[in-house]
Structure formats: structure tokens, C-alpha cells
Structure 1
Amino acid sequence: MRRLLPFLLITAAATAWAAGAPPAPPSTTPASRGDGWPVASAAAQGWDTATLGTLPARMADGTYKKITSVVVADHGKLVYEGYFNDGSADALNDVRSATKSLTAMLAGAAIQRGAIKDVHAPVYAFFPDVKLDRPDPRRASITLEDLLTMSSIWECDDENQFSTGNEERMYIADRWLDFALNLPVRGYAPWVQRPAEAPYGRAFSYCTAGAFVAGAVVERAVKKPLATFAREALETPLGITESHWNVSSEGIGMGGGGTRYRARDLAKFGELALDGGRWNGTQVLPAAWVTAMLTPHAQARDDAEYGYLWWRFHFMVDGVDTPVWAMSGNGGNYVFVVPSRRVVAVITSQAFNERFAHPQSQALFRDVILKALPKR
């Protein structure tokens, strides 16, 4: 979701730095808050704490702008926790499209409970009450998996301002669900890959309307608001006590963006993905679903693949190309999951609609967190 939120960021740390006194670094061992997170000393775990310790100065001198929190977990233990630019441990961070990854988790929970048969369930069958202005029999083939992989046949592309399904058009509609279900079938310009020609047999097109409908499918299937189901299926098992979910203009849970969570709670979602659906030994999501969710199903860009509403990026770690799964949202909000190193990293940011936002957060992850990893 794209909303411009201009504001002035003045912090005590920045003031102290400007006066010549370096800001105090975050604690080398995060606080134990009784929220289910074990904590450990980064130094004792072998992290390069000198590199991690550069973050306060880089925030204060403007190297990294509008970053509000950085939280890192290593092998199931929090080892770093820093808050900047008015961020705090209790702040509910608007993570925008990182919400989509939670919708994928809720789809798996709904399938586990038998409310949805499987990912091949036809989407339109869940909405017999929605009037279609221009019925097209081809839409009947659209499945939940098509929405989870951003590869449906709808003409919907948030990165194309001329697209019929661009998210900004949905936001001003009276009924978002009707807007999405009435989207036309896409065509293919000569320079655009057709599904049969694309890797994984799917033509990717980033479509928030599709993620919204995926959330609406879950809501219809479980017969309760998306926020209620999220609390039941994810938040309560993870010990998350506070969150915020948006709804559409007609009151349907917004599975495409705008949820708000504490940084430490966002890290729990990353740990859930990292540990095969388990949290502190309890199976919260089916392991098979997490495996499917974190399997490439579409080529999103030349340098990134897409699972079920999760991105897979590539970073160099010790000279080796290392896949990193991520929840990603406008403003540079991320939950990074590094399976090969058993690491989860959360970066929250308020650089909404800024061109530098995503490159900045990825640079912070690469140049600080990955650089500080314990040596093997």
C-alpha cells in the first residue's frame, strides 16, 4: 500500500552525535521481555559486534534514513535489537506489503483446518454472490495458487500505472472485491513472456488486488474476519498480544498490506518460516505448507524468485550465492530469513514511497548483518 507520510525525525541519538558525543550502542544482549524469545549475547554467538555496533552512528549521520528498528535472531535466539528514529520495542510498525506473506501463512492454516481443499481451489467458487459485469469463462480457471504466486491471468500490475488492476485504482473503489473479480483477462505484448515460456511455467505480475482476494478467500472459507483468524492461527500460538489489520472499504480483511506488528513479533514470523512452521517446539503451521510456501514458483525478476507471497533474493555470503527468503513491504520493511545460516533479521522503516527505501534496507542487511555473521 502506498501512502506518503512526511514527518520530521529527531532523536536523542542524532542530537548527541551532532554535539560530538557518539550515541550509546544498543545492548549487546537483547532484553528478555517474557514474549517467548530466548536471548543471547551476539559476541558469545560469534557475531562481529564491532560491525553491528556501527548502526547507531550510521543512523545518526544519515547513511541509513528513516529506519526504525533492526532485530536479529540466530538459531532461535535474539542476538541484536536496536531502535532508531523514534522507533521502540512497543511500536506497531506498518509493514505494508510484508502483510502478503502473512496471508500466505493464513492460507496454509485454512487448508490445514479443511476450510480450503488445497491451493488448486478455484477462486470464483468462493464468491457466488459477486456480480460480474463482463462474465468471462476463462476466469473460472483462476486458482488460489495463481494468486499466491502473482501469476493469475488477470490484467493486474502494480508496477504499471496504466494497468487496469493497479492497486491505486482498487483503493478508491467502493467495493474492492468486486473491483478485483471483475478484472479483465490479460494480454501479452510481444516483449512479454507468456506462461509457457517463463521459468516455472508462470508469468509473474505484482498484483496487490490478487493478494487481497487471497485473503478474502481465507476469510470466506473460515467464516470469520481475517484479523480474528490471524489471532487464532498465528498470533496466539506465537505469543503475540497486539497487532492491527486493515479492512477494505466494504469491510473485508486486507490481506495485501498495512498490518502493524512489533519488530520482535515480526521476527517470530521469520522464525516460523525458518523452522518449518514450528515456534518453540510447537507446530503452528504444517511443515509441508512452509516448504511449499518457500519454494520458487515464479521468476519475479532477473535476480529474484517468488514463492507463495514470499520473495527469494540472492546475497553473497563468504563468496557463496546464498538464497534469502523475505517478507517485503513499501518503505523498506523486511523480514529476512537465511535458511543456510539459521538467521532471521527484521528491518522496519518509514521511508514510504521513497526510491531509496528498498535498496537501503537491502544494503543494511548485506553490509551490516551479513557482514557481521559468525565465521564458520
Structure 2
Amino acid sequence: MKQRFLFYLLLLLVVKAGFAQKTTKPYFPPKGAWEHRSPASLGLSQAMIDAAIAYAWSHESRQSRNMDSAQRQSFGREPYSDPVGTLVDRGDPCGLIIYKGYVVAEWGQPSQVDITNSVTKSFLSSVVGLAVDRGLIKSVNDTVAAYVPPIEIYHPGAATEVITPFASAHNRRLTWEVMLRQTSDWEGTLWGKPDWADRPDSNFRTWQTRRRHEPGTVWKYNDVRVNALALAATSVWRQPLPQVLKTHIMDPIGASNTWRWMGYHNAWIVLDGAPVQSVSGGGHWGGGMYINAWDMGRFGLLTLHKGNWNGTQLLSEQWVKQALTPTSAQPTYGYMNWFLNTDHKMAAKAPVTAFIHIGNGTNFIYVDPEHDLVAVVRWIENRYMGDMIGKILEALPGK
């Protein structure tokens, strides 16, 4: 009888412990603070963490720290390569490893505010997602043209100029979906940059007269088209996108006040009678998001939790699901700069459920829901990104 009692008591304790473990509330860092835990306290290997950090230091990007020079290294063969936005020299490599919400490692100066290049695109797709969640855009399958009237360009002291970026026979068929997936083949010139001049191939001159691809069929990484999406989103929100991002994402996740989302110097429109800058979707030609690693980590933690921050759904789960759905023309791409680990092409040792927000430099936010892991790595040579992720994963329990 006593043995049976002890057995049931032990069973009850095991069940209660399991229930408590399942109902433990995830940790979300409050604004201005982030709890640190030693790797060992969470079952991680300190030696492997140290090895990963050493790897990041020893494989710094070979690009110039002068961002104007770095841009010319990356895009110098383009016929319209001159910068038209702000470019500030970057700092040292830095990064964070965040496990179960806690910071288990940091290196460099995570508080330094640097350009993050195309990670900006993930912020852009998020403000489009906010518009969909709020019904400002009824469906991503709607044409963008239906939401974008003629736009007046702001030229101080000069004659008024009006543009219609989605009015051509091809462009008026484009949906928000194909714009988000970079499969639109949008045609035109925006802010002095023609679409055909972005990352042209050897026969780029034929692109000026070629037939356009059917929307959704061909993937092409193209910042002119990304900037056209940013302009369209600005038209929908009727306010600057940085204000939208600050109000609905960055303030709720406790981000700092040091990040800045910039546009090109000539990218100004008249909106409700006032000049408004249309921000760029990356650092190509300058501008884009300038941000520190801590704020990047908070955004990564938000996407890890499917748009939920400490019980508040900032981005709908449905939007995050769509953002992580492979683009048919490019299986490793979801919505802009939610890169997927399809067939382990992003990182051989990472699960296929992992994804990454990535920008030139290389800057990236690695998000791994399966392991409750986020890593921010800044200024590592691009070809070593997958190995860096692999080294972080080697520190996990059981690896």
C-alpha cells in the first residue's frame, strides 16, 4: 500500500513538473535591459560558444569599412552605381547569441549603429504585413495599382512632377504578392535608377527592350523594385514608413531610439500637402536601415515567436506563415529577405525550419524556432555564413 502511494505521488510530481515546463512563459527582454545567462546554465557548451565567436572575428568581411567604397566594390559594374543616399563608415564585427530569449554571448560593440543593408527588406515586408493585418490592403493578391494614385514628386523650387509607377500595361497587373516575392519584373525608373541597371548581366542593354516576364514566374533580386514597393506602402499608410515601424513594431518590442530608416536624398513625395521621404528597402545606393545588433536581436525574437511579443500579436501568425512560404520561382526565398533553409542550402547543419534575415556585408539575423535560438552576426565574409551558423549550433545541448 505504501509503495503504491509513493508510486502515485512520484507520478503526480512528474506530471506537475512536465506541466510547469510546458506552461513556462517565454522570456522577452524589457526595454533598456536584456537578461544575460551563462551558456553552461542553459546547457550550452562554453567552449563551442567561444569557438564560434573566434570564428566570427577571424572571418571578418573583406569589404571596405568605408561604405562608399564597399558599395562600389559590390555594385561598381552597374551603369548607375553612384550612391544617392547616406553612407556612413561601419564599425568592427559584432554579434549576439540569444538562446531561449536570454543573451548567452556577445562580441564587439553590439550597440554600434551600422547600416544593415538588405535586412531592411524584412522591416519593409513587415510594414506591408501590418497594412494587410489592418485591412489597409485587403489582400496580397490585389493589384498594387489599385492602391497607388498618381504621385507628386517633391522638388523644392522646381516644377511639379507626377509619376505613375504602376500604370504601364505590365505594371498594372502586378500584385502585392509578386512585389513581396521579387517575382514582379516591375519596369521603370525610380529615383534616377532604372530597373534594368540593378545587378545587370552581361547583356543588360537588351533588358531595356525585352519582353517582360509573366508576374510570378521569374525571381530577380532588384532594389529598384523593392523601392517601388516601399513607395506603394507609403501611399497606403499615408505617413512615413519609419513612423509606422516605430509605432507598431519597434516601440512594442522595446527597441532603442538609435535606429534610423533612411531614404535617398531625391526620394521625396508630396503626401497630404506635406513633403514625405519614401525610404529605401536596402542600402543599395545608400540609405536603408541603420541599426544596432540589440535591436536586430529583438526583431529576430519577434519573428521567432511568429509575430508575438510577450503575449501581444504585433504581426499576425498568418502573415509570418506567408513570409516563410517558399517562392515558387526561388525555393529559398519567402517574402523579401525572409530567406529559407530549403534543402539546407543556407546552412548545412541548420534545420529546414530555420530562416534568416540577411543583408550585404554580411549582416544577418539567424532565427531557429526548433532550437529557440536567435543569432545576430555582423560583418562576416558571406561565404562563411553557413559555417558560422554551424559552429553556433554545435554549442547546443546534445550536439
TM over 0.5: yes
Q: Deviations over 1:24-46 (max 9, x none)?
A: xxxxxxxx995353432211111
Aligned twin of 1:215: 230
TM-score (norm 1): 0.71
- Cα distance in 2 for residues equivalent to 1:344 and 1:246: 26
Q: Deviations over 1:56-98 (max 9, x none)?
A: 54466x4445761121111222221111xxxx13211211011
- Please state whether the residue corresponding to 2:251 is helix, strand or coil: helix
Residue 253, structure 1, aligned to residue 257, structure 2: no
Aligned twin of 2:99: 74
Residue 288, structure 1, aligned to residue 318, structure 2: yes
Whether contact under 8 Å (2:195, 2:222) holds in the other structure is no
Residue 305, structure 1, aligned to residue 322, structure 2: no
Residue 146, structure 1, aligned to residue 184, structure 2: no
- Cα distance in 2 for residues equivalent to 1:273 and 1:184: 40
Aligned twin of 1:206: 221
1:54 aligned residue (51, 55, 58): 51
Gaps of 5+ in 2: 1-28, 63-91, 152-161, 189-193, 201-207, 269-277
**Partner letter of residue 279 of structure 2?**
G
Residue 167, structure 1, aligned to residue 164, structure 2: no
- Cα distance in 1 for residues equivalent to 2:211 and 2:45: 50
Aligned twin of 1:43: 40
- Cα distance in 1 for residues equivalent to 2:320 and 2:351: 22
- Please state whether the residue corresponding to 2:105 is helix, strand or coil: strand
| Correspondence 1:1-376 to 2 at 5 A | 35=32, 37-55=34-52, 57-58=54-55, 62-65=58-61, 68-83=93-108, 88-125=109-146, 126-129=148-151, 130-131=162-163, 136-154=168-186, 164-167=195-198, 186-187=211-212, 202-240=217-255, 241-248=257-264, 249-251=266-268, 252-257=278-283, 258-300=288-330, 304-313=332-341, 314=344, 315-317=347-349, 322-349=352-379, 357-366=381-390, 368-375=391-398
Gaps of 5+ in 1: 1-31, 157-162, 170-182, 189-193, 196-200, 352-356
Q: Deviations over 1:152-193 (max 9, x none)?
A: 03369xxxxxx8433379xxxxxxxxxxxxx877546xxxxx
Whether contact under 8 Å (2:111, 2:294) holds in the other structure is no
Whether contact under 8 Å (1:276, 1:290) holds in the other structure is yes
- Please state whether the residue corresponding to 1:233 is helix, strand or coil: helix
Q: Deviations over 1:91-133 (max 9, x none)?
A: 1121101100111111111222222222123222313235459
- Cα distance in 1 for residues equivalent to 2:217 and 2:337: 14
Label 1:214 to 1:365 Cα distance change in 2 as closer, same or farther (>3 A): same
**Partner letter of residue 259 of structure 2?**
S
Aligned twin of 2:274: none
**Partner letter of residue 170 of structure 2?**
R
- Cα distance in 2 for residues equivalent to 1:238 and 1:45: 24
Work out the percentage of aligned pairs sharing the same amino acid.
26
Label 1:113 to 1:94 Cα distance change in 2 as closer, same or farther (>3 A): same
- Tell me which moved more, 241-250 or 306-315: 306-315
Whether contact under 8 Å (1:103, 1:256) holds in the other structure is no
Whether contact under 8 Å (1:332, 1:360) holds in the other structure is no
CA shift for structure 1 position 329: 0.6
- Cα distance in 1 for residues equivalent to 2:54 and 2:166: 57
